[in-house]
Amino acid sequence: MDTALYGPGGFYRSAGPGPAAHFRTSVHASPLYARAVARLLTELDTVLGAPAALDFVDVGAGRGELLTGVLAALPPGTAARLRPYGVERAPRPDGLDWRIGWGEEVPGPGLTGLLFANEWLDNVPVDVVETDADGVPRIVLVAPDGSERLGELVSGADAEWLARWWPVGEHGGGTGAGGCAGAGGRSGEGAGSGAVGRGEPGVRVEPGMRAESGAGRDAAWAAAVSRLGRGLAVAVDYAHCAHARPAFGTLTGFRAGREVAPVPDGTTDLTAHVALDACAAATAHHGPATLTRQREALRALGVAGSRPPLSLASTDPTAYVRALAEAGEAAELTDPAGLGGFGWLLQGVGLGAGEVVRETPGAPGLTALLGGASGGGDGDGSRGGDGGGAPLG
């Protein structure tokens, strides 16, 4: 998976139109998404005390669409202090705003601001395991043409991660550690979540049950968050909960707007749902994290999707049509059966347990997402909140 995505000639190494030619994310669905992120960044700037240099790092930046949209949506004074940076394996896009930095690694350490990762973690490679005829989990080996065979027994970090977060095999059938993450799925023709319930503890394990080890994703997320000195890290992705891991895995492929078989030949996006609850545990030393759904997160940031009053059609038809179109876009972004079901993981760094946010006027959205949470959690460093930080499930 790593070679197919990031090796020479890999999917994310190619120049050209980039991921947008193959699948559609919230960034591509509507400029409302960039505006919401800009509001989140503006409120965070207020909480941080308007530092002389405000960092905004987009991890998995594609062709810089989100960075460009956020820059355009920020107040001029904030944009003048912004240090925008895109992290992507592909070369810097032609014509990208000169203010935007570009590279393959997250800058830092000591960033002050917002690190945002929209549909990045689902492309961090995973090892897929499958139970053999005896119910024993083994690594799935895949040839360039997509053909598969079972390899060695699962061991090491993968075995430890699966035992905690996604039990599978002769002693599997359980639910894993506590915590919860979001649903949803990448948008393409015929795309779906692929999620199938695991069932209750004690269910007989059969040959062919699958899981995907997220050990590498936890490490990647922790490494990215460690580059922050003070601020907020946000991961947005389609995900699953510890109590509802899919029995047969989620690995799939996307090419030219269609869901296809995950053939690792470099022409196809390979993606799998993310265990955001495990990622939250990996950064628990920074303080409590918030896990919520995109529907609640965007509503806290002002994306409501309410229809304009019909009277506006008479007084200002152009404004009415524009508002109606935005309402439709907002509905797509917040649809719980689609993009609105995506998980949002918010990890504060140097913000305390929410008290800094709660005590700062002018940050209502951020307060709803972080400061409104009641604390506690399931022992994994995560929590559901009240209002914007509603728990997932």
Measured over the CA atoms of residue 255, residue 256, residue 257 and residue 260, the dihedral's sign is negative
Is the pLDDT at 380 greater than 70? The verdict is no
Q: Which residues of 24-55 are buried (b: 16+ CB within 10 A; e: fewer)?
A: bbbbebbbbbbbbbbbbbbbbbbbbeeeeebb
Categorize the per-residue pLDDT at 12 as very low, low, confident or very high, splitting at 50, 70 and 90. low
Instruction: Summarize pLDDT for 72-83 with one digit per residue, the tens.
Output: 999 999 999 999
Helix, strand, coil shares of the chain, percent, nearest 5, are 35, 20, 45
The Cα–Cα gap between 205 and 226 comes to 38
* Tally of CB atoms within 10 A around 328: 13
> What residue has token string 């038809």?
317
Q: What is the DSSP string of 56-103?
A: EEEES-TTTHHHHHHHHHS-HHHHHHEEEEEE-SSPPPTT--TT-EEE
Q: Which of 108-112, 114-118, 173-177 has the lowest mean pLDDT?
A: 173-177
> What residue has token string 């949209």?
69
* Tally of CB atoms within 10 A around 290: 30
* pLDDT attached to residue 264: 85
Q: Which residues pair with 212 in a beta bridge?
A: 128
The Cα–Cα gap between 77 and 296 comes to 29
Instruction: Summarize pLDDT for 82-103 with one digit per residue, the tens.
Output: 999 999 998 999 999 999 999 9
Instruction: Summarize pLDDT for 325-357 with one digit per residue, the tens.
Output: 888 899 999 999 999 999 999 999 998 766 678
The Cα–Cα gap between 276 and 240 comes to 7
First to last CA, the chain: 29
Task: Describe the crossing of helices 65-73 and 31-47 by its angle, rounded to 10 degrees.
Answer: 60
> Which structure tokens are listed for 76?
């001029």
Cis peptide before 109 (omega within 30 of 0): yes
Quote the distance between the C-alpha of residue 118 and its chain's center: 5
Instruction: Summarize pLDDT for 152-203 with one digit per residue, the tens.
Output: 999 999 999 999 999 985 444 444 444 454 555 554 433 333 332 333 444 5
Categorize the per-residue pLDDT at 291 as very low, low, confident or very high, splitting at 50, 70 and 90. very high
Q: What secondary structure letter does DSSP report for 311?
A: T
Q: What is the pTM of this model?
A: 0.84
Instruction: Summarize pLDDT for 18-51 with one digit per residue, the tens.
Output: 665 555 789 999 999 999 999 999 999 999 999 9
